[in-house]
Amino acid sequence: MLDGGTSPMNSLGLAKPPAETRVVVAMSGGVDSSVVAAMLAAEGYDVVGVTLQLYDHGAALARKGACCAGRDIHDARRVAETMGFPHYVLDYENRFRESVVDEFADAYLAGATPVPCIRCNQRVKFRDLLETARDLDADCMATGHYVRRLVGPGGPELHRAADPARDQSYFLFATTPAQLDFLRFPLGSLASKAETRALAARHGLTVADKPDSQDICFVPDGDYAGVIRKLRPGAAEPGEIVHLDGQVLGRHEGVIHYTVGQRRGLGIGGGGEPLFVLRLDPDRRRVVVGPRSALATRSVQVAEVNWLGDGDFEAAPEGGWEVAVKVRSTRPPKPARLRPLGAACARVELLGAEEGVAPGQACVFYAPDGDRVLGGGWITRD
């Protein structure tokens, strides 16, 4: 492919030879980003690996001898040494705490269900790190996310990964058009994670068999409430568990122990119909429960909308934008109507009811066929 009839486009869509193309690769120490760095280095790109030290497990969990990203930093450095490119570790701990961790704790205390991985991409990796990449005179920044960046008539577009089981587009809805212009996602077109691990083995990377991380990075044991107690000592106060009809069913030790849609671990005994957490009322320190049918909703209010679709977001067709939406990362896109209520807020009308929609979660918009990401917003209380 030629640009202006003279310069051949490289595999990253830039009109420069790989050797003259500097790529900053965000390296977490896992197999995905390691493979991205190795692939690009093998193609002859001027690769610079950057690993962010974001948190300290010892501090987060008040446990001695647990160094945050010690192992991950070591693994990333080993990959850089194996492939022969420079690697830097940047201390972003304060930025990460201020931009992600503090909000995570405060959101839980306010009865919301936050998604810190999205905030990390939005406020740290694709903002601060991306600016660092520009300062390093990079032509682009590559990550190990499973999502596709395709160039359409209006410029770069964000699309779901080729492998639906690995797709991470839900977590990248807040990526702006300007950021998308600079970002690259080399793994998005791979058929499976097995292919990624095979590439790691082919390049002789020691992380080829490294397990995937399953939890939020600063909550490695999955105990959200435990981390919040450390971050906000004494903030979680006991209160009542109340049925939707107003009947008090029991007591709880803090709303941080509950999430909307939860059934198990309510501590109110058995008998009768199964009960689910319907909403959290932190001001009155109440956990409201009820039947599963009460979890269903067909209308969702969203704020902080980031629009990646064509045209002006507010200039929606009559009846709103026809979209598909995901209200949780693990659920498939469902048909909906998106009605703008301003430049950055909207009402999402689901054609079929969804259960367990909770404030603090993301609602991500896709094209009707569920492939292209059109943006998204944060679910708020009505």
**Catalytic residue flag (residue 120):** yes
| Residue 78 zone, left/alpha/beta (φ > 0; ψ -120 to 50; rest) | alpha
Q: Give the max Cα distance, the chain.
A: 75
Q: Which residues pair with 90 in a beta bridge?
A: 52
Q: Which tokens go with 70?
A: 């010690």
CA 224 – CA 105 distance, rounded (Å)? 9
Q: Which entry of 68, 117, 140, 217 is annotated as an active-site residue?
A: 217
CA–CA dist 370, 333 (Å, integer): 6
Task: Please enumerate in sequence order all residues whose Cβ is within 8 A of that of 49, keeping only pairs 6 or more positions apart, or say none.
Answer: 24, 25, 27, 37, 76, 79, 80, 85, 86, 87, 88
C-alpha to C-alpha distance for 40 and 24, rounded to whole angstroms: 10
SS3 content of the chain, % helix, strand, coil (to 5): 30, 30, 45
Catalytic-labelled residue, pool 117, 120, 140, 363 = 120
Q: So which residues are the catalytic ones?
A: 120, 217
